[in-house]
Structure 1
């Protein structure tokens, strides 16, 4: 059954790639955007193209430039800040729970193998479903509050999971399952989307690929450490292990807000300012450049 699902997925990817090649080549991103004929989107396109042209004129960024603060955009600071959410993703303890969820249910809560697998499957299905809501509120609520609220929920759930695991009775087992589900919900509603989007959002376009690669490296390195130590720690201290993730450092507001204000000059502070800039770019077309529009928007 697993092989069949994998085969269907691979076939779908193949057809999707062919379709994207045919229609993408025929229409292209630019034509797709202009078909929409929306002035705000056109303005965004002009701004993106202008930024690409300006930064491409300087050539490809070197690794030494990525790790240097001797630049206008202070690349090293941004790289380190971009690594923070990636590492926070793992050091929240999510994969200490996810990777061993069925094992924990069976070994420490007394469920049968079949029931443990069913509960884990339901948990991850719910996890996937709950990954959609952030799309609708993330920009309105903001990255900072999304992570703060998500972290508070995750810390609370981890503390309760630890307590339930120590109870070693049917009520404790039920509570551990419930709060494991709730932990995954809290995680995917805040920490998960922010950790994967924040780094790319704050990096200058010129070094974005390399800087994001560094952040992803820190993510998977942290993943390796957490996943490797979890079974050892669980065997040594049992449910007390989850107290670590209940008190582990989760977020700091300064990391997720005000980066441009500290590293460069903030020009756009509200959605209205952003919209006005896009309209200015759409109206200007090829007549001006980024600097001209930014001066007019001050």
Structure 2
């Protein structure tokens, strides 16, 4: 499996597999509670790492705190080359709703919780997830993240759910190692956050490429967008692939800085997704997909 390097010019660059694994789907319904099949969830994590995946995406509000505990149970003590990326900026209520948790004190609490549950002394990469307009200013949130980095609790800081203006503002404050946004074949032009706000997806990718910042796409295959994936479905059928596999392959060919993290709660689907790393798309295929 090919690799890319996060923060290559920093004192502690992280070289990871081009295809990662997102743990969110290992939880119960609505990203809440324990997995329906715990043994399979643990086997998925083990199989991903044994197959060459060295980048795992998690958050302490997945579950609540379910995916972090699964990672520890399946993989601790961790392989030396494994990078565990987490997110902060949100939390969950008992009704499983998502709410901001992004004051400096909140962010410190989240980082401390991740360190405890993941059994780490330092979180290698943390995405600050923005939860929509209003509330705590970006400068205050990101400033708190950089403070935690100076304290040694965070190695690298990233941003999640940002538009080009927010990313540009973040870059003026300090080094942004990665960006995690909704992005995929069916939603390249825009993305919508939980509040319905539209942000430029392609513009963010262009800014990432300009600064050499990997973009980690989540929810990269969105179903139900009218005609958005017609060509994807056609080519997938011609090649004997699933649409999910072709979407992953498209991402890997679209830009060398894209780091897909397709998630699944099925071991069979995990193996299908991993196989997508070996799919070759020609220039004609990419031109056809557009």
TM-score, normalization by structure 1? 0.21
Based on CA coordinates, which of the two structures has the bigger radius of gyration?
A: 1
Bigger helix fraction: 1
More contact order relative to length (CA 8 Å, sep ≥ 6): 1
Bigger strand fraction: 2
